[in-house]
Structure 1
Amino acid sequence: MGKLSEQEFDAIVRDVAASVYGQAVVRFSVICFTVEATYRTRSRKGTWVADFVFNQETGHYHLTCPYGSATPWTFGDEIGRRIREAVAS
């Protein structure tokens, strides 16, 4: 098993963010293997931020989020799945 490069990780995050629907990711930033994603509230009147720190070998992540929404977990799980796929190939 190998490690994912920062460039590969950035491409994965961009692709997953582009595919998110429903409570969409408004914007995101990637620094090393950390992602800060800003989401719209359900009312679409405000935003909230979730922070993810990913392991480049396993795809596991730590999430810091002010709400109990499933949306960031779905986002993080998909990024993690794609990391595992990339590392395994």
Structure 2
Amino acid sequence: MNILGVETMPKSKESRKDDVKPKLKVRFAQLNIQQLEVAEYMNESKQTISAWANGHKEPSLIKAYRLAHFLNCKVDDLWEYVEKKEE
């Protein structure tokens, strides 16, 4: 909680309960497509696409759907939801 008594979001990825694992690299390989091609279609930088593919960033929901449409698959095919177990 912050000084106003409001719950704040965890700052580090390790403190999150659940996670999303990207499977973009697999789809890119299946289609023999380069990140630069995806970046141009999505009107994003190659660095942004790389960050999505490596799990450093997550796209907005609309961008995820647009990417799935471009790659001819479902959003679920591009990211895997992983629930972390309580320790």
Q: Is the pair's TM-score, using the shorter chain for normalization, greater than 0.5?
A: no
More strand by share: 1
TM-score range, shorter chain: 0.3 to 0.5
More helix by share: 2
TM-score (normalizing by structure 2): 0.35
Higher RCO (CA 8 Å, separation ≥ 6 residues): 2
Bigger radius of gyration among the two:
2
